[in-house]
Every structure is written in C-alpha cells, then in structure tokens.
Amino acid sequence: MSLGQEQATETSAFGAGDRARFWRVPRYDELECLAARFETYRYAPHVHETFAVAAIIDGAERYRYRGVTHVAPAGSVGVVHPGVLHDGGPAGDSFVYRVLYPSPDLFRRIATDLNDGVETEPWFPETVIDDPELAVRIARLHRTLERSPVALEQDSALIQTLGLLIRRHSRTDTRPPAVGREDRLVDRLCSYIDGHLGEDVTLDDLARDAGLSRFHLLRVFRHATGITPHVYLMSRRVARAKRLLGDGQGLAETAVDCGFFDQSHFTRVFKSHVGVTPGHYRTGSNPVQDAAA
C-alpha cells in the first residue's frame, strides 16, 4: 500500500460474482481508485465531481453518457467528464476494470505542465478510446498507486500516464517543449537525489530544484540518462545499501538509512538489482547452491 493511502476495503455487497476494491491516495487531491469485477451489478445514473478514467481489463462495459449508449471493450479506455450523468454495467457476462477519479485541478495541472506552463483545460471528445497501449499503461499506474511505497515512482507514473492520455486524446494544444542538451541540469538533479537517498523524494521536489515543469523534467532526465528519476533513485539506494552491508551494517538499519519503505520493499528492490537478497549479499552465501544443498 502506498504511503498516505487509506486502508483499502473489500466489499461483496453485490451479486455472488461481483467484487470491488476501493482506496484513496490523499496526496493527489484525494485521488480515488477502484478495481472491480462486475457480473450483475449495475450503477444507477449518477455524476462525479471528478473525471473518471477507466482501463477495461476484461469483458466489456456498457454505459449511457450524454444521451448515447456506449460499449467499452477490453483494451479500451473510458473517460467521463465531471458533472455528466452516466450509468454502467456489464455489456455481456461480466467486465473487469481499474478506474481512477482525478480531480479537474489535477488534470489541469498536468495539462499545463504539458503546455509549457500555459494554463490548459483538457477535455475529451470521445468517451470510449480505442488505445490498448494506453489501457495497459493506466492499469499499470493503478497498480503502482496501490502497491508502491515510493513517492517518486508514483509521481512519475501518474504524470507520464495521464500526460499520454491528454496528449493523444484531448482537444488541447499540449505539444511538449523540445528537449535540449541540459546535461548540467541533469547532473544537478542526480546530485540532489544522491544527497536525499534516505528521504521520500517527490517529483515536485526535483521540479522545484530544477525550475522545470514535472513533465518536461521527466523528458529531460530520460533524454540525458536513458532512465527515469525513480530508476536512478532505486539504483543509487541499492549501491549505498551494498556499501553499508559490506561494512557489516544490519539489514533493518540499512533499509532505513537507504530510504526503503520496509524490509520487504528493500529485499524486493535489492534482489531485482543484484540478483540475491540483502541477507545473502551480506553473508556472501549463494542462494542457488544453498537451495541445491
């Protein structure tokens, strides 16, 4: 679960095959998230104060929106504007989807970043968007907001994914500014990350330090390094952890000193970078040989 999230809740107050999981991410204007499988449940006509952005994972959803009935199949993205009456339910036997409910202000800020600081109000002419790549990206973002404890990973995924939705499918002038050779600036950003490895660095922190919009910062950083700030942060945390473990420091203390959310997060990231767990690295044992023995 992400830092600052409320406890996710399970509910079975639907039909026997209906399932839903709901939580909030307060740091993004109380962003609400829903993951659900519906077989018999149907929404009554209702409105939201926020946008609704849904990635259809399986099956198809049927809903009435602006007086027209639409069907959103697997691999599509559904977008509903604030204040617009709509309903929803399975178009066939069932559907599975993941939904984000971003506030208008959150969408506006991202669109403004995309438009190089010019305040921009995005709107979407199509409610069902045939874009399987985007649907996969939205589902991945949704899982990141559910599972990742790292603010920078959440920030990067949110800005990049909703930015892609806006660029491809909204009626706004959101052409991103050209990326230049800003190596000195990226060096400074890397130094900032190196100096804050034990802290929960956010994209806002980096943007303030660089004097760039969050979206442009991500593009500049990737252009110069080939990776995102989050990947750089994790790699530097692992490098520091290796040094501390090599000096004999304990696992729990190392996890805290390097800014990992908890021991399981430390182990998962460390093993993905090094190929063995921190414990095996510290003792010098070989997990493959140990298992064979």
- Domain parsing of the chain, residue ranges: 9-169, 177-293
- Contacts of 163 by beta carbon, 8 Å cutoff, 6+ apart: 110, 113, 114, 215
Which amino acid does the sequence have at 141? L
Q: Are 231 and 221 in contact (CB under 8 A)?
A: no
Mean pLDDT throughout 59-85? 95
| Angle between helix 183-194 and helix 203-210 axes, rounded to 10 deg | 130
Fold of 9-169: Jelly Rolls (2.60.120)
Distances (CA, A) of 37 to 31, 52, 219: 20, 17, 35
- Contacts of 21 by beta carbon, 8 Å cutoff, 6+ apart: 8, 9, 10, 34, 35, 36
Mean pLDDT throughout 163-187? 77
Mean pLDDT throughout 145-168? 94
| Angle between helix 263-274 and helix 229-246 axes, rounded to 10 deg | 100
What is the rounded CA–CA span in Å between residue 264 and residue 188? 31
| Angle between helix 229-246 and helix 214-225 axes, rounded to 10 deg | 60
Element holding 157 (H helix, E strand): helix 151-169
**Predicted structure pTM score:** 0.79
Tens digits of per-residue pLDDT, 266-281?
998 888 888 778 988 8
Question: Among all chains, which residue has been given the structure tokens 């202000």?
Answer: 105
Element holding 10 (H helix, E strand): strand 9-11
What is the rounded CA–CA span in Å between residue 107 and residue 101? 10
Task: Give the CATH superfamily of 177-293.
Answer: Homeodomain-like (1.10.10.60)
Amino acid 196: pLDDT: 93
Amino acid 96: pLDDT: 97
Query: According to the per-residue pLDDT averaged within each range, which of 125-134, 216-225, 266-275 is highest?
Result: 125-134
Element holding 238 (H helix, E strand): helix 229-246
Q: Token pair for residue 65?
A: 């929106």
Question: Among all chains, which residue has been given the structure tokens 């190929």?
Answer: 275
Cβ-in-10-Å burial (0-12, 13-18, 19+) of 105 comes to exposed
Which amino acid does the sequence have at 203? L
Distances (CA, A) of 259 to 58, 114, 147, 199, 269: 37, 30, 17, 6, 12
Distances (CA, A) of 217 to 93, 205, 207, 250: 44, 11, 7, 36
> Mean pLDDT over all residues of the chain?
86
Mean pLDDT throughout 198-203? 92
Distances (CA, A) of 74 to 8, 21, 33, 96, 163: 25, 19, 19, 8, 22
Mean pLDDT throughout 24-32? 91
Calculate Rg over the CA atoms of the chain: 21
